[in-house]
A and B are shown apart, each in its own frame.
Chain A
Amino acid sequence: MRLTTSGSARNIGDAIIGRLTTQDLPRDLRRDHVRLVPKGGPLPGEVAGYRAVLSHNDFPTDAPVIDRLRESDHFRDGDVVVLEGANGFVRSLYRPYEQHHSLFVTERCSSNCLMCSQPPKDKDDVEMLTRRNQELIRLMSPAPEYLTITGGEPTLLGDHLFGLIEQLRTSLPDTELHMLTNGRTFAWPDYTRQFAAVGHPNICLGIPLYSDNAGDHDYIVQAVGAFDQTVAGLHQAARNGIRTEIRVVLHALTIPRLTRLVEYIYRNLSFVEHVALMGLEYIGYTPRNIDALWLDPFDYQQELEKAVEYLAMRNMTVSIYNHQLCVMKPSLWPFARKSISDWKNLYLPECERCSALEDCGGLFKWAVKKHSAHIHTL
């Protein structure tokens, strides 16, 4: 599902965030809203009090506006969007009706994983995105059940991250947070203590670990010292009562020592509450490094089964994400989760008549370019 569209921006400045409405709201209710004029719909007479206007057709006004919108069929009332003055982009930030929600906090990252699905940019966007996210959190209604804080590397926000989590704690107290981080900053005990002191009652860190030894892990994440910091970070988090889970992306560089990795996790990191074994996404850096990374999931089912059994037998919670059921051993189906975000998933022609369609998570939409040779109807 579309995330971004664009048009011709006027009177906007940096950016404006608001909640979409196609309805004519009474004046005193317009304050948080962006008035969307649907395609072919009548132009509103006056728009005072709205934060901005979006329109397919030309809309002359002194109010902040983006008109000549390219698409709008992906918008629904209640969506929170950001209008960017510089380029006329309209990005959807929050869709209440979706299952998965994210808070994107920066494109900066201290690692540079070979298979990164969101390649980092070395441009400081922290101030700008933090202002945007502060407003977004205010507008998240109804409150989501779960929210993933993601980037880039969220801990690069420094104090701003603590501020955002604090704001989430007070304004969305029942929302469970999941923060994707490389965990390296947590190796510094002072940082971890500060993080724990924010006192959010319901947050879990999702931290990737790709090998049981530094050389291989550091190569995969393209950062010297990353393994040591990540393992130390996991330990500091545990010591400070911060919940953690471990994520492993499955590809040619992680599969060979996968059973050793889960053993390492069990013996050194058994406090983690979950281990997620994830399929490779053909996006971001992956296409560039595909020769080093590609392994047809069908061909690594043995290793995957051994690793899953190892953890399950020891009562550790393990899930498999981003794999299609037809490609997996049936013994592993109980561990597969429908994990692909709504805006990312797709099914192939073979899937249409598949008996397992309901239970299967499907594929990533970019998987049309690269997927297992063994997708078939069950």
Chain B
Amino acid sequence: MVDTAQSEAPSGVLAVVRVNHDLVSVEALLKTCYWFSRDFVCGVSHSEPGQSTVELKPKPTCLTSPQDAKEQFIAQAMDFALRERITAKTSDVRDLLLAKAFSESGVLEETPQGVFGDMVEEENPSGMFKILSNG
């Protein structure tokens, strides 16, 4: 669970967010901090194994309220975690797509599936589709 604590925050710190790495990885957390670094100084510490604590300290440019900052941080972190899941499921096919997109030789071209003939064609031992199809 990602939760937040507010009351015991040291002075100057706008918000504190506790992050459980079962839900949001360190990578996703750091990406969130990257985007928040425009308006905040993000202090990340490991409170316990599998957990981190983020202290968001506002910069002079910051116009966000404490509640908004926490909500936005959590929402963004969850989105980065979601992106990681998508990437994990798609990185292989993405590599294949890019290889196909930029291949010059046509070596990576797929052969079509299925048959294109009719019953007459299927019954013909030297029929066109036997020659052309991939089985």
Contact = CB atoms under 8 A, between A and B. Distances in A.
User: Are A and B physically bound partners?
Assistant: yes
A228 B118 contact: no
A185 interface: yes
B112 A156 contact: no
Contact of A189 (B109, B115, B119, B120): B109
A122 B119 contact: yes
Q: DSSP class of B's interface residues: helix, strand, loop or mixed?
A: loop
A110 B117 contact: yes
A348 interface: no
A369 B102 CA distance: 55
Contacts of A184: 116
Given A122-B118, A122-B119, A123-B120, A228 B132 contact: no
A33 interface: no
Interface residues of B, number: 17
Contacts, number: 50
A109 interface: yes
Nearest to A191: B132
B132 A188 contact: yes
B133 interface: yes
A124 B120 contact: yes
Contact of A229 (B116, B118, B121): B116
Given A108-B120, A124-B120, A156-B121, A224 B133 contact: no
Given A108-B118, A110-B121, 19 more contacts: A110-B117, A122-B118, A122-B119, A122-B120, A153-B118, A155-B116, A156-B118, A156-B120, A156-B121, A156-B128, A185-B116, A190-B132, A224-B114, A225-B114, A228-B112, A228-B114, A229-B112, A229-B116, A232-B110
Interface of A: 108-110, 120, 122-124, 153, 155-156, 158, 184-185, 187-191, 224-225, 228-229, 232
